[in-house]
Every structure is written in C-alpha cells, then in structure tokens.
Amino acid sequence: MAEKKKNYDASSISVLEGLDPVRKRPGMYIGTTGPDGLHHLIWEVFDNSRDEAMGGFANRIEVALLPDNYIRVADNGRGIPVDIHKQTGVSALETILTVLHAGGKFGGENTGYKVSGGLHGVGVSVVNALSTHVIAEVHRDGAYHMQEYNIGVPKYKTKKIGPSKQQGTVITFQADPTIFKEIVYDWKRIVTHLRQQAYLVKAMHLSVIDARELEETQQKKLDLKGVQYISDLALEVPHQHFYFEGGLRSLVAFNNQYQKPVHKNIFYIEKNEVDSAVLAVEVALQYVDDLSPRISAFANNIYNPEHGTHITGFKTALTRTLNNYAKKNNFFSVKDKDAGFTGDDVLEGITAVVSVKMPEIQFEGQTKAKLGSVEARGAVESVFGEAFGDWLEEHPDDAKAIINKVILAVKARKAAKAAKDSVLRKGALEGMSLPGKLADCQSKRAEDSELFIVEGDSAGGSAKMGRDRRTQAILPLRGKILNVERARIDKMLASEQIKNLVIALGTAIGDVFDIEKLRYHKVIIATDADVDGAHIRTLLLTLFYRYFRPLLEAGFIYIAQPPLYKIQRGKDVRFAFTDVEKFAVLKDMGVEENIEEGEADDEAPEEEEETAAAAKKTGKVRIQRYKGLGEMNADELWETTMNPEHRVLKQVAIDDAQMADKIFDILMGTDVSSRKSFIQSNAKLANLDI
Ligand code: 0RA
C-alpha cells in the first residue's frame, strides 16, 4: 500500500528497558496468566497490524492458529523497520521485540494515527518475553528479513534472507507453558473478538484460520518460510473471513440482524480531528422494535462494556436532538405541559455503536471497561448531535418512525410507572416473608449459602431431602416461568414464580435492586437435560440477564450438571455426564456387551430392584438414562448434583454481553423465523453456552 505519512526510521525509539520484569510479573502486563492473558497475547500482536491498517498502510491481516500452539499474525503493512537503531545498536525490529515499551513509542507524533490504550499496546516485546519461541519476518524494501527469539532473547541478528516482492510483517509466537497455566486457544472467542475488531476498520480483509490440526498431506503444504498468508495455501481447515465496507454501520446492521427495524436507513457519522484531545468520533445507530437499548462503546478500539464519558455525551445529544426535532415538527400536544422525552424514552429499542479515538486516554478502573477521559463527552455530544439533527431533517421518513417509536415508549413508561409504583412502594417485595415454597438453609451468611432453583415439585422434594440443610436452600419451580424479554417489571412481578424467586434472592428488583442484600452467593439452576429443561434454563438466564445482571457479572449464577447415566454392575455404581464418559465407564468395567438398558419411568420400582438384584448375580451391567432430576432419589441427587465435593457446576459468565444479548434476542424476541432457524441449527447443543 502507498505510504501516506512521513518516513519513519529506527532513531525514534527512545525508551529502553529489558524484558526481565515481564517474566517476573506477567500479570502486570497482560492482566492474568489464565485464559484471558493467553488470548491477550494474540490481541497484542494483532493490534499492531490493525493499527497499521487503520493508518491506511495495510488492508489485509491474517491470524492463524498453528500446530504446537503457534499463533501467527501477518499483515501487508509497511513492515517493521530493520535498519540499525542508534540508541540500541541493533535493528529496529530487534529493538521493538526485545525492549519494553519500545513499540508504543512508534506512531504518536510520527505516524499520527497510533493511539495507545494502556493495557493494550503494552508492546509486542511483552509477547516475546512470554513466548518460548518467536519468529519475526519482514518484507520490506524488496527484501525478506528474519529474526528468531527464545524467551525474548534473539537467536541471531536480524538477517536478510533474500529478495521479496511482498510487503508486510509476520509475527509467529509460541506461548511459554511455564508462564501460562494452560495453553488452550478458544477458537470461538478468537473469532468473536476479531470480528468485532474488523468492524472498527473499514474495508480491511481479516482472515482467521484454525490450522492446529492438519492431515499429513495438508501438513506438507505448510512450509511457512517466505509465505505471507496461509490462506493462500488453500488448506482444508476451518476459517473465517471478515470484510466490512461500512465499518460501524455494518456492526449496527449485524447487531440488528434478528430484530425488526422501525426505520430503514442506518444513521452514520465519522469525523476526524475533532479537537486537540479527540482524533476521531464515529457513531452509527438504528432503532428496532424492542424495549432494551443495545449500545456498544469503543475507545481506541477497546470495547467498553461499562460505557463512560463518550456514551454520556451521546445520550445527552440524543435526548436533546430528538426533543428539538419533535417540538419543531409539532409532535407534542400544545396542551401537555409535561410533554418531552426523557433520556430513558429515547433509548428504548436503540442499537448504537459509538467509537472514539484519543491520543491520551484514561479509563476508570483496571479493566478498561469504562472510559474516563472528559474530553470525549463534549466531542461526541457536539459531533453526533449536529450530524444527527441534520440527518433527521434529511430523512423525514426515518425521523417520523423514530419519533413515533419514542412516543410509544413515553406512553408505556407512564403506564408502567404507575403500576410499578404501586407494586414497589407498597412494599410487595421488601419486608415480605419468604415464600412457602422455599426450603431455606440455616446459614444466614450469603458467602456460605446456595440456592438451588429446581425444576418440578418432585425433584424439589428429593432435593429438599438430599441437601445439606446448613448451607443449601431449595426453591422448586413449577413449569415455565414468564418470558421476561418483552415484559415490563410490573407484569413480571404479577407472576407468582418470579415474585418467589425475587423474594428468595433478597435483592429486590429494578430501581431498588441491591446486590448487598443477596442471600446466596451461589444461585444454581438445576433443570432436566431435555428440551423443557433447556427452555426453563433459558428463561431463567433471560431473567437474570435482563434484571439481575450484576449477579451474572459477579459470577453468582451457576448451572448444575446432573449426570445423564447411572451405570450399575453389582455393587459398582457409577455416573456418567456424557456419552463419551458412559463408554469410558463401560470400557473400564470391562464390558462392551451384555448390557441391559433401562429407563426408570418405564418400570415400577419393584421391578427395578429386581433387575438390580439380577444384575448383581449375573454380572450384567445396567444402564439407566436419567430423563429428569425427578428420577433420582434424594441420595443420588445429593451425590451427583449437589454434594460440593463431587458435583460439577458450570459458572455462567458474561464474557461477551453482546453475544448473550443476541442469543436471548433470538430465543425470546419478536422475530419468530430467526428463532426457529436458531433452534433448528442448534438443536443438538444441550447447553446454552453464553
Ligand atoms: C514501527 C514503525 C513503522 C511500522 C511499524 C512499526 C510496524 C509494526 C508492526 C507490527 C505488526 N505489523 C507492523 N507493521 C508496521 C513505520 C515504518 C515506515 O515508516 O516505513
């Protein structure tokens, strides 16, 4: 690609520091040495290539997962400089890879585009320090250069291998297993993160390839020397390609793919060089037929799930602009003195993405979840407000549809408020005695207490008998709970089931929600391993997602994993949680034949005992498939599902709030056809994996 800005050479690197501190305290640089930190290595290397694309110097990036846990990131940018750096006396390439903070000092004034995000942008040298092996390849000025490193130490000087017609950088690294607890890359997570990144750089070709497992014939093709893109080798492996001409506009369209838009056109504005503190503001939005807002915020391409100053500015401008437009175009009745939209009214059903780029950036807290820089607020407010006002004037059909949608929200708000006030103020929840259905635990310390939400009265009965009553409380749920996705708080609390649950949790709900009052630090959903069970679980997760999100964020919500099979041979009783485990158990018992399969609810209990007794004598193996929790007796339920020493719990995490939101939308929202196709295509997945 053509060079745009002033030429850069090695002399601009100024800060010098070795890599020892990184290996001593990796957490300081990449957060954790768990899965987050491991994946952070990829983001770190990718970010450099992405910045090269954002600057207009590259338009193609490839991230490849290779055998032996190698990760490879390639781009067609300018190539990392290879000339000798004055201060270090070694190549700029070596300096960037072996000197802490050196990478970040490129860009800024030199290139005018690179913006540093703090945790991101710690530099590729950190990745080098935490890798057993790194290969850096540079195609630049007609030549192909290379250098390798072991745990951050160069194996040889940067060397010129030969001529090259290509241009760009390829970084291949292998994370150090003595640093990371476990080296397992999560394909889904990588694809999700990179897709999101692809939206942030317009018209960038981004490929993600999973070439970890290759057949022998394919393996031969994988001689990487001099090859810039593995995609070009046409391997038969999983891969994804992302290319979004419209940038954030495409992201809004993607977020709305399962929704019903209330107007046709997506609003979009991009403004560069807003003022001295803000390099760029970009906003896209479209309203859909839904109640909740979905706003995604980015600062320097870092996703901010907790929003911050840019979103504050956005909301202020949104409210003001829509009020002005409605007033000017006589949408408000003259008689109504209280006419006007509140901040909440204009957010109902909005899908928006706001992105800012700043040379100096401040986040609140360690995780970069919330933008703190004050300048972002005014910049977004003025850039977006002005552009959105103009757009409304130029798109009267869209404007009218949006205003009508907001007017509907106002009406609903007034109706709901009246109902909610009566429910909440009258103390329907607070001070109310615990529901009779709840078998509470003895402990009053939330840290020690667990609440099992159990499907059905019969399983509830077994759970009550089998539990450790000191710390385990049981709340049986009868049948389906209300689908809360589209219901308002007032309607929800009219449901006995939900009211019981809310009272049991102790936190109350809505404006008066208080996580400090939570009565259990483990809230465990225990439903059957069938379609109904999956549905109830989804409904509960929707409820938690919509109204008790802090509980999800704090990691208080779990899903019990009851076994699928009981396998018995004489006195030898074992449980299997998957089909694979079942076969392993059978193999371990030394049987592949002579198996008797049974289902408890086809047989009377006496018969079952007889069969078991017969099994003891003949050495026959009996396999029972549990259709529901209710089929287990109290002891079995305790032993397999409730006993903290043996049970398996799956913690529900909102790793990616957007992804969870999407699944709930599909499963619970208005768009019936996409729900159908989602359920059909995911029918085999037993767990709703959010
Ligand atoms: C420093 C200076 C220049 C480019 C880069 C670094 C650079 C780094 C990475 C990391 C991955 N891909 C990259 N591409 C470029 C500017 C070089 C110039 O002015 O020619």
Which helix (DSSP H) or strand (DSSP E) does residue 138 occupy?
Answer: strand 131-140
CA of 204 from ligand 1 middle (Å) equals: 17
Domain boundary among 420, 451, 474: 420
Local confidence band at 413 (pLDDT 50, 70, 90 cut-offs):
confident
- Distance between CA atoms of residues 274 and 282, nearest Å: 11
Could you tell me if the CB of 7 is within 6 A of ligand 1?
yes
Instruction: Find out whether the beta carbon of 49 lies less than 6 Å from any atom of ligand 1.
Output: yes
CATH code, 143: 3.30.565.10
Measuring from atom 6 of ligand 1, which residue has the nearest CA? Answer: 80
Is pLDDT above 50 for 644?
Answer: yes
The type of residue at 508 is A
Q: Which two tokens stand for residue 313?
A: 């500015």
C-alpha 385: how far from its chain's center? 30
CB of residue 80 inside a 6 A radius of ligand 1: yes
CA–CA separation, 285 and 398 (whole Å): 12
- Does residue 339 or residue 284 have the better pLDDT? 284
Residue 18 lies in a domain: yes
What phi, psi does 91 have (nearest 5°)? -65, 155
Pocket test for ligand 1, best of 106, 135, 171, 206 (most atoms within 8 A of CB): 106
> What's 469's domain CATH number?
3.40.50.670
Which atom belonging to ligand 1 lies closest to the Cα atom of 5? 19
* 105 inside domain: yes
Shared domain check, 278 and 200: no
What is the pairing mode between strands 450-455 and 522-526?
A: parallel
Pick the residue whose CA is nearest to atom 18 on ligand 1: 8
Out of 242, 260, 287, a domain closes at 242
Same domain for 125 and 24, yes or no, is: yes
Give residue 164 CA to ligand 1 midpoint distance, Å: 17
3-state DSSP call for residue 612?
Answer: helix
pLDDT at 428: 54
Report the number of distinct structural domains present in the chain: 5
* Residue located nearest, by CA, to atom 3 of ligand 1: 80
- CA 77 / ligand 1 centre spacing (Å): 7
47 within ligand 1 shell (Cβ under 6 A)? no
In angstroms, the Cα distances linking 374 to 367, 378, 428 are 18, 8, 41
Q: Is 132 in the pocket of ligand 1 (CB under 6 A)?
A: no
256 and 305: one domain? yes
Contact 106 CB / ligand 1 (< 6 Å)? yes
**pLDDT for residue 567:** 92
pLDDT in tens, 2-23: 334 444 444 444 445 689 899 9
Cα dihedral sign, 660-184-176-195: negative
Mutate to test the pocket of ligand 1, among 128, 135, 169, 173 (most ligand atoms within 8 A of CB): 169
Q: Give 101-156 pLDDT, tens digit per residue.
A: 765 444 333 333 344 433 335 689 999 999 999 999 999 999 999 999 999 999 99
Ligand 1 centre from 107 Cα, in Å? 9
Residue 73's H or E segment, with its range, is strand 70-75
Query: 248-255 vs 187-200: helix axis angle to the nearest 10?
Result: 130
Q: How far is the CA of 229 from the centre of ligand 1 (A)?
A: 18
| Element containing residue 143 per DSSP (H, E) | strand 143-150
Structure tokens at 188: 């889904």
User: What is the Cα–Cα distance from 564 to 578, expressed in whole angstroms?
Assistant: 6
d(CA 102, CA 123): 7
Q: Please state the φ and ψ torsions of residue 333, each to the nearest 5 degrees.
A: -75, 140
The structure's pTM equals 0.66
Q: What pLDDT is attached to residue 107?
A: 37
Q: pLDDT, tens digit, for every residue of 375-412?
A: 999 999 999 999 999 999 999 999 999 999 999 999 88
Same domain for 207 and 117: yes
* Residue 453 sits in the same domain as residue 408: no
Is 254's C-beta closer than 6 angstroms to any atom of ligand 1? no
- Is the pLDDT at 682 greater than 60? The verdict is no
Q: Which residue has the tokens 């809360």?
A: 484
Q: Are 230 and 105 within one domain?
A: yes
Residues noted as catalytic: 455, 528, 530, 532
* Out of 54-58, 114-118, 165-169, least confident range: 114-118
* pLDDT tens digits for range 543-561: 888 889 899 989 999 999 8
Q: Which atom of ligand 1 is nearest to the CA of 6?
A: 19
The answer to whether 339 and 319 are in contact (CB under 8 A) is no
- Decide if 567 is inside a domain: no
Pick from 209, 214, 211, 218: nearest CA to 241: 209
Ligand 1 lined by 485 (C-beta under 6 Å): no
In which band, very low, low, confident or very high, does the pLDDT at 331 lie, cut at 50, 70 and 90? very high
- The alpha carbon of 41 is separated from its chain's Cα centroid by a whole number of angstroms, namely 17
SS3 string, 269-288, reads EEEECCCCCCCEEEEEEEEE
- The answer on 315 and 217 residing in a single domain is no
Whether residue 184 is found in the same domain as residue 223 = yes
For residue 174, name the pLDDT band (cuts at 50, 70, 90): very high
Strand ranges, E, within 308-458: 350-357, 363-364, 370-371, 450-455
Which atom of ligand 1 lies closest to the CA of 168? 14
In a domain, 359, yes or no: yes
- Does 104 contact ligand 1 (Cβ within 6 A)? no
Q: What is the CATH number of the domain that holds 260?
A: 3.30.230.10
Residues 587 and 533 in one domain: no
- For 209, residues 6+ apart whose C-beta sits below 8 A from its C-beta are 62, 63, 64, 65, 230, 231, 235, 237, 238, 239
Backbone angles phi, psi at 68, to 5 degrees: 60, 30
Is the pLDDT assigned to residue 598 strictly greater than 60? no
Q: What's the pLDDT tens digit per position in 434-471?
A: 888 899 999 999 999 999 999 988 899 999 999 999 99
Instruction: Give yes or no: residues 257 and 353 share one domain.
Output: yes
Q: Does a structural domain hold residue 427?
A: no
Find the range with the poorest average confidence among 480-484, 519-523, 653-657: 653-657
Of 52, 59, 75, the one to substitute when testing ligand 1's pocket (max ligand atoms within 8 A of C-beta) is 52
Q: Which of 5, 13, 48, 125 to mutate to test the pocket of ligand 1 (most atoms within 8 A of CB)?
A: 48
Which tens digit of pLDDT belongs to each residue from 339-358? 899 999 999 999 999 999 99
Handedness of CA 189, 192, 196, 202 (dihedral sign): positive
Residues 61/75, Cβ–Cβ less than 8 Å: yes
pLDDT given for residue 601 in this prediction: 43
Query: Which among 362, 392, 420 is the end of a domain?
Result: 420
Q: What's the distance, Cα to Cα, between the start and end of the chain in Å?
A: 40
Question: Is 645 a domain residue?
Answer: no
For residue 676, what pLDDT band results from cuts at 50, 70 and 90?
low
Q: How many angstroms separate the alpha carbon of residue 106 from the centre of ligand 1?
A: 8
Q: Would you list the DSSP string of 494-559?
A: TSHHHHHHHHHH-S--GGG--GGG-S-SEEEEE--SSHHHHHHHHHHHHHHHHH-HHHHHTT-EEE
172, 77: one domain: yes
If you average pLDDT over every residue of the chain, what do you get?
84
Within a domain: 237: yes
Its domain, for residue 588, covers 575-597+604-625
Q: Are residues 135 and 223 in the same domain?
A: yes
Assess if residue 549 is contained within a domain.
yes
